[in-house]
A and B are shown apart, each in its own frame.
Chain A
Amino acid sequence: EAQVTQNPRYLITVTGKKLTVTCSQNMNHEYMSWYRQDPGLGLRQIYYSMNVEVTDKGDVPEGYKVSRKEKRNFPLILESPSPNQTSLYFCASSPRPTGTGELFFGEGSRLTVL
């Protein structure tokens, strides 16, 4: 089954404790992206990657890092989480390299930073 898999789905952590949210897709897509979704703000792009070893900032990259060492994986790293990073995070992939076409989303990772 074609899918984007995120882990963990739910996480409660404390300020400053580094964490990684993993994302893996099995559709051989070149384009992958991370979004955060907040009430009243909608979906906002954090980082995206158009291919292995190619990453770039989206609209809200502060406090986040990403890496793309393999085509299928695109982890999101919070080096020193803060309460304003409490959010619902989605990983997505697209068959179009520019990401202008259909996005396939994971089921989301709900993060709470205390």
Chain B
Amino acid sequence: QKEVEQDPGPLSVPEGAIVSLNCTYSNSAFQYFMWYRQYSRKGPELLMYTYSSGNKEDGRFTAQVDKSSKYISLFIRDSQPSDSATYLCAMSRLNQAGTALIFGKGTTLSVSS
């Protein structure tokens, strides 16, 4: 079983839809959970960052972590065409020096106007 699993999509939604992106993981030692957004021909940029379990909201974006199920989600409300990108989940272990983040393979999202 891979450490981090993410459905690659593609996911196509109309403007205004609620989008749900998900990752599952196998290593219970993961403590830091992140979502990165990557536009075409650009480097990934951090979107959301959470430590341990719970929810975090930032504008139209909500990140959820369920450590008991080893499942993380990113919700996008009122999706916009500018949200069209690849979304990468990432996670790392507490006090794991150096090797940093384990990334999912990314889900490609397309929001049509």
In the assembly, what is the distance between CA of A50 and CA of B99, in Å? 10
A42 adjacent to B97 (CB under 8 Å): no
B98 adjacent to A48 (CB under 8 Å): yes
Question: CB within 8 Å of A: which of B31-52?
Answer: 32, 34, 36, 41-46, 49
Given A43-B44, A102-B34, A106-B43, CB of A58 within 8 Å of CB of B99: yes
B residues touching A (Cβ–Cβ < 8 Å)? 32, 34, 36, 41-46, 49, 88, 92-101, 103-106
**19 sample A-B contacts, Cβ–Cβ < 8 Å, listed by A number:** A41-B105, A42-B103, A42-B104, A42-B106, A43-B44, A45-B99, A50-B98, A98-B95, A98-B97, A98-B100, A99-B97, A100-B96, A100-B100, A100-B101, A102-B49, A103-B101, A105-B43, A106-B43, A107-B41
What is the minimal beta-carbon distance from B52 to any residue of chain A, in angstroms? 13
A contact residues around B42 at 8 Å (CB): 107-108
In the assembly, what is the distance between CA of A4 and CA of B44, in Å? 12
Question: CB within 8 Å of B: which of A81-112?
Answer: 90, 92, 94, 97-108
Query: Apart from A50-B97, A99-B99, A104-B46, what 17 extra A-B contacts exist at CB < 8 Å?
Result: A33-B100, A41-B105, A42-B103, A48-B98, A50-B98, A59-B99, A98-B98, A99-B92, A99-B98, A100-B32, A100-B100, A101-B49, A102-B49, A103-B44, A103-B101, A105-B44, A107-B42
Given A100-B32, A105-B43, CB of A42 within 8 Å of CB of B105: yes
Of chain A, the residue at the smallest CB distance from B97 is A98
A contact residues around B98 at 8 Å (CB): 48, 50, 56, 98-99
In the assembly, what is the distance between CA of A59 and CA of B44, in Å? 19
